[in-house]
Structure formats: C-alpha cells, structure tokens
C-alpha cells in the first residue's frame, strides 16, 4: 500500500522524473567535459613534443663518412641531459643493410632505449604513440622519418618522448574538481526542482481546502484564485455543483407540486366516504366518484413524472434517441387504436441518423400526444414528417404533425396549451396532451407552435435539440 501510494503521488513522480533527467544530464555533461579536457591536454602535449621533435630534426646531420651526429649542447631543454628526467630523444637507423635501434640517444635515457612500434612512415610525416618508458613510466612518443640526401646511407627514424605523469595528474585534478562541481550543481538543481514542484502543486492544496469547505457545507461553490491550467477544472466543477443544486431544487418543487395535486382528489374521496357513512343512499355513487378521483390523481402523477424525467435529462451530454424507430412504432400503435375509423396515416421518410438529444421516453411522450390528438380530431388523414432544420444558429430536430380536422381557432391556440384546458368537452380526454408536449418541449429548450395546416386542420410543429452526426440540409 505504501509503495502504491508513492507511485500514485504526483509530487514524487515529478521529483523522480526530474532527478533521473538531471542526473543523466549531469553525468553526460561530466563525461563530455572530461573527454574534451583530456583531448585538449593531450593535443597540447603532442604539439609541444612535435616542437621538440622539430628541434631534434633541425640539429640532426651526417658527417663526411655518413655517420649520424647530433650535438646535445645545442638543444635548449636541460632535461635532455638529466637521467630519467622524463624527456627523451633517440635516433634509429631503419634503412640500409643493417637497421639499428638507438644509434643516437639523449643522456636522459641513460642505458634504456625507446621501443616504438613498427609502422610505415612517409618521409617527414609524424606519428604519435603511447609507449612504456624507463621505470615503467607511460610515455607519449612522436616520431618522424627523414632522409638526409638521395643515395645516402638510408632513412633515419627520429623519436621524441615525454612522461605523461604530469598531464595525467592535471586530467585527474580536473576530473576531481569537475566531479565536485557537478555534484554541487546536481544538488542545487534538485533543490530547485523540489521548490518548483512545491510551488507548482501549491494551488492543488488550495483546491483541496476549497473542496473541503464545500463538503463541510461552509461554501456552496469553489472560491479562490487558481492558475490558468486549473481554472477550467474549477469552473466545470462549479457548473456541476450549480446543476446539482438546480436538480435538488426542481426535485423539491416537483414533490411539493405532486403532493398539492393529489391532495384535492384525496380530500374529495375522504369527504365522499364520510358522507356515505352518514347517508347510506349515497353509497351507489361512491365507486364512480372514487374511480374519477383516482383517474385524476393518476393523471397528475403521470404529468409530474414526465416533467421530472425531462428536467433531470436536460443538458446531460451523450443522450440520443433515434427518431425513425420511434415514429414507426407510434404509427403502428395509432393505426391499431384508431383503426375502426379508417384513418390514413401519412409519414415522410425519416432521414437516416436523425436523432433527438434527450430521453427516448420523452420523445415518445411528445410525439405520441401530438399524434393521438391529431387522430382524435382528423376526419380522414393525418400527416407526419421529421427533418433536420437550422434555428438560432444551431441544428434542430423539426417534427410536423397535421390533420384535416376542424383545427383550433387562432385566438384559442394559447389556451389549448394550458394544463387541464379542454376546448371541446364532447371529445374524451384529460386536457393534458398538448400541455404535456408544451412543457416537455420547453424543458429541453425547444418550441411548440400551433397553426392551420395545408390539410385544413391543426398543424403542430416541434423544434427540439438534435443529437450530433446529422448534417442539416
């Protein structure tokens, strides 16, 4: 559990990633700098040895008998004459019938010889080697092949070598200082990274405190100043809190409205029951009154449940109800319900992919009420279409249902949308159909408009939010 908590810690993950990255960078920097310094020191040492080799080459000559000679007195560095001083020269004969090593040597070599590896050198070319010297010392050696004159006694190999001890010590001292410096730099970088992580994660601590205030009921939303990267999260969370508060408020309102709505039928049944006890002759009418009041209560419950479901679904992302199967199912049901009247139900082909951005039950409720109302009043024909439309700059689902019935006068259309209002008491119904459609449509941010249609009767047009993936024509 402790290891799992460490792995889930954003602070430790950032610090670990920073430590690894900084450590790799510092090690790579040390390796590169050490290599560059070593290469630079070796190159300077080689340049100095090559200058000494040039001096030896300039002083080397042959006498009249072709014997080589080199006067040590003309060489400027006193180390040439001090035994095992660390600076040496040597002349080898590599041409002629009998090649010889150490024909001439510096006094500093004493009784030792330079052992240069055998290789082929162009005249005047310089090669550099690392060889073992007197006393097992490591030497850096430069060599050159020269010919005094054509037809002479052959080629001569001039060697100059020096002990690498001082350069190696210089490189070691540099590497030691470099290691200390980079270690100090690594420590400072890690301290800076720790401070950076602490400062960077400080807003999350403030966010945690704000969340605690909301959880404990001291605040209703998140308050405080947050970085630009965190502020969108805070805004979204506040939106969720506001939506939850709205849902709770609507739930309380719906519960109160439902309680108030069924209070009247219950009071009526209680009064009728009490009256029947006092007047036995009224018992015959009691069942009918109870059935009527139960039906009234049922309609109110149905009404409020529909409103609650639509209110809860409003604005919820990802909700989608395909229109085509709902329309086909409603047409089949209405054909059976009103089959004895021989109505003709005309439906235009629904475009593929056309969908409502909301609950399937709510779309069935709205279209079912409009279609049932049209079938009740139609003389022979009901027409229905569903298309994609553009309204207020946004894609919308447009459903039109019309009939060839008597229609509704323009001055009565607003009254028809009032809950419980019935313009014709001779036709069965509760007066809730158009009102339910009107209110559900409003909860989804849609519109319901009534007018006279081409068939001569009522034309009901619904504009509802449309789900994505459908192009508007």
- pLDDT-derived band at 443 (thresholds 50, 70, 90) equals confident
Give the strand pairing for 394-403 and 381-391: antiparallel
From 113, 129, 163, the end of a domain falls on: 163
Q: Note whether 72 and 91 are same-domain residues.
A: yes
Report the alpha-carbon angle 23-26-30, nearest 5.
Answer: 140
145 and 252 share one domain: no
The CATH number for 341's domain is 3.30.565.10
Residue 97 burial (CB count, 10 A): 6
* Rounded percentage of the chain residues whose pLDDT exceeds 90: 20
pLDDT band, very low/low/confident/very high, at 142 (cuts 50, 70, 90) = very high
pLDDT reported for residue 422: 47
Q: 188 pLDDT band (50/70/90 cuts)? A: very high
Q: Is the pLDDT of residue 473 over 60?
A: no
pLDDT at 423: 45
Cα 309 versus chain centre, distance: 34
Q: Report the pLDDT value the prediction gives residue 317, as an integer from 0 to 100.
A: 59
User: In the prediction, which pLDDT does 178 show?
Assistant: 93
User: Is the domain of 422 the same as that of 439?
Assistant: yes
Which letter does DSSP use for residue 466 in this model? B
| Mean pLDDT in residue range 374-394 | 88
Q: How far is CA 147 from CA 47, 57, 58, 161, 428, in A?
A: 23, 11, 12, 21, 131
Contact present, 102 and 112 (Cβ < 8 Å): no
- φ, ψ dihedrals at 432, nearest 5°: -105, -15
Q: Which two tokens stand for residue 466?
A: 């449309």
Tokens of 61: 């000559």
For residue 325, what pLDDT band results from cuts at 50, 70 and 90?
A: very high
- Are 89 and 126 in the same domain? yes
Residue 19 lies in a domain: no
Number of domains in the chain: 3
Please give the residue range of the domain that contains residue 289.
231-313
Distances in Å between the alpha carbon of 283 and those of 39, 294, 296, 324?
Answer: 118, 17, 20, 51
More confident residue, 395 or 280: 395
pLDDT average, residue stretch 25-33: 94
**Rounded distance, CA 432 to CA 426, Å?**
15
The whole-number average pLDDT for the span 230-234 is 81
Q: Report how far residue 250's alpha carbon sits from residue 254's, in angstroms, rounded to the nearest whole number.
A: 6
State the average pLDDT over residues 286-293.
67
Q: Residue 24: its pLDDT value, please? A: 93
On the question of pLDDT at 470 being above 50, the answer is no
Query: CA-to-CA distance for 455 and 439, rounded, in angstroms?
Result: 26
- Residue, of 29 and 365, whose pLDDT is higher: 29
Residue 198 has pLDDT above 90, yes or no: no
% of the chain at pLDDT higher than 70:
76
pLDDT of residue 248 exceeding 80, the answer is no
Q: Are residues 288 and 348 in the same domain?
A: no
Mark whether 356 and 460 lie in a shared domain: yes
Q: Copy the structure tokens of residue 402.
A: 């019309």
- Residue 426, number of CB atoms within 10 A of its CB: 5
Average of per-residue pLDDT values in the chain: 80
Nearest Cα residue to 456 out of 379, 375, 388: 379
- 441 falls within a domain: yes
Q: Which residue among 163, 190, 220 closes a domain?
A: 163
| Non-local CB neighbours of 365 within 8 Å, separated by 6+ positions | 306, 436, 437, 440
Q: Choose the final residue of a domain: 163, 178, 209.
A: 163
259 lies in the same domain as 328: no
> What CA–CA distance (Å, rounded) separates 113 from 277?
141
Let me know whether 267 and 381 are in one domain. Answer: no
Least trusted range by pLDDT, from 145-149, 157-161, 343-347, 430-434: 430-434
pLDDT value at residue 268 = 65
What's the pLDDT score for residue 10?
Answer: 78
């Amino acid at each position: 559990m402790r290891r799992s908590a460490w792995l889930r810690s954003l602070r430790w993950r950032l610090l670990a990633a920073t430590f690894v990255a900084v450590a790799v960078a510092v090690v790579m920097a040390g390796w590169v700098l050490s290599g560059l310094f070593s290469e630079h020191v070796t190159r300077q040492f080689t340049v100095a040895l090559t200058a000494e080799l040039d001096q030896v080459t300039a002083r080397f000559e042959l006498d009249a008998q072709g014997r080589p000679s080199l006067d040590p007195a003309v060489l400027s560095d006193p180390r040439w004459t001090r035994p095992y001083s660390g600076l040496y020269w040597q002349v080898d004969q590599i041409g002629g019938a009998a090649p010889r090593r150490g024909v001439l040597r510096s006094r500093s070599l004493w009784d030792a010889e330079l052992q240069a590896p055998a290789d082929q050198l162009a005249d005047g070319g310089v090669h550099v080697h690392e060889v073992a010297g007197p006393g097992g010392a490591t030497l850096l050696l430069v060599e050159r092949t020269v010919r005094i004159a054509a037809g002479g006694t052959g080629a001569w190999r001039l060697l100059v070598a020096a002990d690498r001890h001082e350069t190696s010590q210089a490189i070691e001292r540099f590497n030691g200082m470099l290691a200390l410096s980079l270690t100090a730099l690594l420590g400072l970088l890690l301290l800076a990274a720790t401070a950076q992580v602490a400062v960077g994660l400080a807003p999350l601590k403030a966010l945690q405190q704000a969340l605690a205030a909301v959880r404990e009921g001291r605040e209703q939303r998140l308050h405080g100043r947050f970085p630009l990267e965190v502020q969108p999260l805070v805004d979204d969370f506040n939106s969720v809190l506001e939506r939850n508060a709205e849902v709770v408020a609507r739930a309380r309102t719906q519960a109160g409205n439902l309680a108030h709505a069924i209070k009247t039928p219950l009071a009526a049944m209680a009064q009728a029951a009490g009256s029947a006890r006092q007047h036995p002759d009224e018992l015959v009418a009691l069942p009918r009154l109870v059935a009527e009041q139960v039906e009234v209560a049922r309609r109110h419950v149905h009404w409020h449940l529909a409103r609650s479901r639509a209110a809860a679904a409003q604005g919820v992302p990802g909700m989608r109800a395909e229109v085509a199967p709902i329309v086909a199912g409603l047409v089949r049901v209405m054909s059976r319900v009103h089959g004895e009247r021989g109505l003709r139900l005309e439906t235009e082909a629904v475009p593929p992919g056309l969908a409502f951005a909301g609950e399937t039950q709510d779309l069935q409720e709205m279209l079912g009420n409009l279609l049932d109302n049209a079938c009740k009043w139609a003389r022979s024909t009901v027409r229905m279409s569903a298309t994609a439309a553009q309204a207020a700059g946004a894609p919308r689902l447009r459903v039109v249902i019309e009939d060839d019935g008597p229609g509704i006068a323009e001055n009565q259309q607003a009254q028809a949308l009032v809950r419980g209002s019935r313009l014709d008491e001779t036709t069965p119904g509760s007066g809730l159909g158009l009102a339910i459609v009107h209110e559900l449509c409003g909860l989804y941010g849609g519109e319901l408009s009534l007018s006279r249609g081409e068939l001569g009767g009522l034309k009901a047009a619904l504009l509802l939010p449309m789900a994505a993936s459908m192009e508007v024509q």
